[in-house]
A and B are shown apart, each in its own frame.
Chain A
Amino acid sequence: MKLIILDDYEQVSEWTAKYIRNRIKKFNPGPDRFFTLGLPTGSTPLGCYKKLIEYHKKGEISFQYVKTFNMDEYVGLPRDHPESYHSFMWNNFFKHIDIRAENAHILDGNASSLEKECQDFEAKIKAAGGIELFVGGIGPDGHIAFNEPGSSLVSRTRVKTLAMDTILANARFFDGDLSKVPTMALTVGVGTVMDAREVMILITGSHKAFALYKALEEGVNHMWTVSAFQQHPQAVFVCDEDATQELRVKTVKYFKGIMDVHNKMVLD
């Protein structure tokens, strides 16, 4: 695992965006070989998306030969609802870049058969040759995507019922009305993300610090599903100072000490 520790949210966003940009450029995608990218939603990756859009507008990166697979989507929420993950991706990313709709895959929470939708999603990932780089965030309870505590670490894309913590946290997007918050979601499994050739997790803010500690310094545990990536051959965790507050000083010093090496991956 590489742990990238930066000063603040802005630096995290920039570092991550540059990393993704450089990875895509190095891969050199074309009409016969697409770069497959797994993508998250939420407030953590917003800054990264803004930066990617900036680089795209400057001509530094094109998404013409990039296929994206989002991690999750609410069940039963109309696709054009302002809080759906389709709306999020359109407004915060897709509408600003040159990606074609047929290359942007998001789970359909209104499919007539949710199970088939999940299976089809896995099949699409396989047909695309697997995911090159899966970008994700971490919940305060250590979940990756909607793989709530107790999710199998070898799980695949499926329907999940949301934990009360998650529902409460989401209420602010639904006028504070708990009855309006979706209770179920379709999500990629821990196993699905583990299959990616590289995994990149963003963690910012002190409210994520404990989850980061549990994910990195304790054992692999299905109660803190992000910990599964301790067993991934290419995992990158990008965080800000605030998120390191529950880590050991020794851990933080070690990874800060090798930042020079890590920063070579984000050169312009």
Chain B
Amino acid sequence: MPSNKSVSDAPITQFVSCRILKDHRLQWEDLWVREGKILNPEKLFFDEEGFADHKVDCGNKIIAPGFIDVQINGGYGIDFSQASGDIRRGVAQVAKKILEHGVTSFCPTLVTSPPDIYHKVQSVHLSLPFIIELPNILVLVMLLSFSPQVIPELRVQDGGPEGAGILGIHLEGPFISEQKRGAHPPKFLRTFKAGGVADLMETYGHLDNVALVTLAPELANSAAAIRELSGRGIVVSLGHSMADLSQAEEAVQNGAIFITHLFNAMLPFHHRDPGIVGLLTSDRIPPGRMVYYGMIADGIHTHPAALRIAHRAHPAGLVLVTDAVTAMGLPPGQHSLGQQQIDIQGLHAYVAGTTTLSGSIATMDMCVRHFREVSGCTVEAALEAASLHPAQLLGVSNRKGTLEFGTDADFIVLDDTLTVRETYIAGQQVWRK
């Protein structure tokens, strides 16, 4: 191996003739990869007297960190919230397909569902004394979950040739507002009876492998739940809510740092009460903290002018999400989402029989292109909104969402139209056009 083996004798790949997104700029630099991580070529040269085993010519294309989708409900006929059958296989199918959109990591999202769905989807590790404390009906549900087969679970896991990596589950609901439930089924909404751990555990079962929780902060006793979740390193996101700005600010002070699909399922911006939207320019954000906000940039969920207003008000916090539903990737027609039916017409997905939008079917790369086009932002900003910002939101930017030395080599090769041509995870090509 071309190194003095002082550090490693694993093969080294050098990607040449490319522009890489580094330090917020596209730069004509080579990208070096070894053992699934981005390698520092200067250290390799001086410390190890090493050089590349093989070079890959990128034909002057762009290399960007792989996209990270923190809100995706399913796709290609798979609905993550319908835990019928093998949930893991369904998630794996979607994980494989989204590689084509440049997504290398994602957070499978569960919409408001009955408790048994949550408990079925997450592995249950309850000790006997805890079971005895709970009401009998729940004991029954939990006992039913202890079926002889392996309990399906969605674990945090690395991506690879099989599909994009899972950074954690996004639980969107059920602690949301009835008036702003959107496509969520009303009968499974919940409120915080006592607030804090008890309600969360009763509903979700347990919180391992959960990366985000969307809730409505105006619900009574939400503060304790928000503090509990953020204390565990789970991103608390405000969404599907009737909260006014001061309720939203209080939630941020208790630890909330994200807004679920800004503008959608919340009170509209009003100049005397900006509502949750006002968080973008709030002066009551704790110092050192930042509020991020998800945007569905499919051209349907948000008017381009609104997208521009948000972007210009707070560019660093913009996180592109797909909020993709089961029908993403499928032809037009009727499909199921959560406990409801949806109807696909062109690029629109409605709750069947209504004009309520039910999530989008745009892919992440489409969102990146659309965002760039309508906001007039730089290529770098568009790419970072789908990679760096979600990584920062999830607190994983030390290994994902960037091309810094030592981070995971999850990246994509794009042409100048921002069309994804190749996807790499841990330095291995996992998809090419």
Instruction: State the A residues within 8 Å of B (CB).
Output: 79-80, 86-87, 90-91, 94-95, 100-102, 104
Check if B50 is an interface residue, CB within 8 A of chain A: yes
* CB-based contact B50/A95 at 8 Å: no
From 299 to 320 in chain B, residues with beta carbon under 8 angstroms from any chain A beta carbon are: none
How far is the CB of A59 from the nearest CB of chain B, in Å?
15
* CB-based contact B46/A95 at 8 Å: no
For the complex of A and B, 8 pairs with smallest distance between CB atoms:
A101-B49, A101-B45, A90-B42, A102-B49, A86-B46, A95-B41, A90-B45, A79-B46
* CB-based contact B49/A95 at 8 Å: no
Sample (11) of A-B pairs whose CB atoms are under 8 Å apart: A79-B46, A80-B43, A86-B42, A90-B46, A94-B45, A95-B42, A100-B49, A100-B51, A101-B45, A101-B48, A101-B51
Tell me the bound Cα distance from A101 to B45 in angstroms.
6
From 2 to 60 in chain B, residues with beta carbon under 8 angstroms from any chain A beta carbon are: 30, 41-43, 45-46, 48-51
How far is the CB of B54 from the nearest CB of chain A, in Å?
14
* CB-based contact B42/A80 at 8 Å: yes
Nearest A residue (CB) for B42: A90
* CB-based contact A95/B51 at 8 Å: no
Per DSSP, chain B at the interface is helix
Encode B43-84 as 1/0 by CB contact (under 8 A) with A. Answer: 101101111000000000000000000000000000000000
* CB-based contact A95/B30 at 8 Å: yes
Provide the residues of chain B in CB contact with A86, threshold 8 Å: 42, 46
Provide the residues of chain B in CB contact with A101, threshold 8 Å: 45-46, 48-51
Provide the residues of chain A in CB contact with B46, threshold 8 Å: 79, 86, 90, 101
Provide the residues of chain A in CB contact with B49, threshold 8 Å: 100-102
Tell me the bound Cα distance from A104 to B41 in angstroms.
15
Tell me the bound Cα distance from A87 to B48 in angstroms.
15
Tell me the bound Cα distance from A79 to B48 in angstroms.
14
Interface hub of A90, A95, A101 (most chain B Cβ within 10 A): A101
Nearest B residue (CB) for A106: B46
How far is the CB of A84 from the nearest CB of chain B, in Å?
10
Provide the residues of chain B in CB contact with A102, threshold 8 Å: 49
Provide the residues of chain A in CB contact with B45, threshold 8 Å: 90, 94-95, 101, 104
Tell me the bound Cα distance from A264 to B282 in angstroms.
70
Provide the residues of chain B in CB contact with A104, threshold 8 Å: 45
How far is the CB of B13 from the nearest CB of chain A, in Å?
16
Nearest A residue (CB) for B44: A101
Tell me the bound Cα distance from A101 to B51 in angstroms.
8
Provide the residues of chain A in CB contact with B43, threshold 8 Å: 80
* CB-based contact B42/A87 at 8 Å: yes
Tell me the bound Cα distance from A45 to B51 in angstroms.
25
Tell me the bound Cα distance from A100 to B43 in angstroms.
13
Interface hub of B30, B41, B45, B50 (most chain A Cβ within 10 A): B45
Tell me the bound Cα distance from A94 to B50 in angstroms.
12
How far is the CB of A230 from the nearest CB of chain B, in Å?
36
Tell me the bound Cα distance from A86 to B43 in angstroms.
10
Nearest A residue (CB) for B2: A100
Tell me the bound Cα distance from A94 to B51 in angstroms.
11
Provide the residues of chain B in CB contact with A91, threshold 8 Å: 42
Provide the residues of chain A in CB contact with B30, threshold 8 Å: 95
Tell me the bound Cα distance from A239 to B69 in angstroms.
57
Interface hub of B41, B43, B46 (most chain A Cβ within 10 A): B46
Tell me the bound Cα distance from A181 to B42 in angstroms.
23
Provide the residues of chain B in CB contact with A79, threshold 8 Å: 46
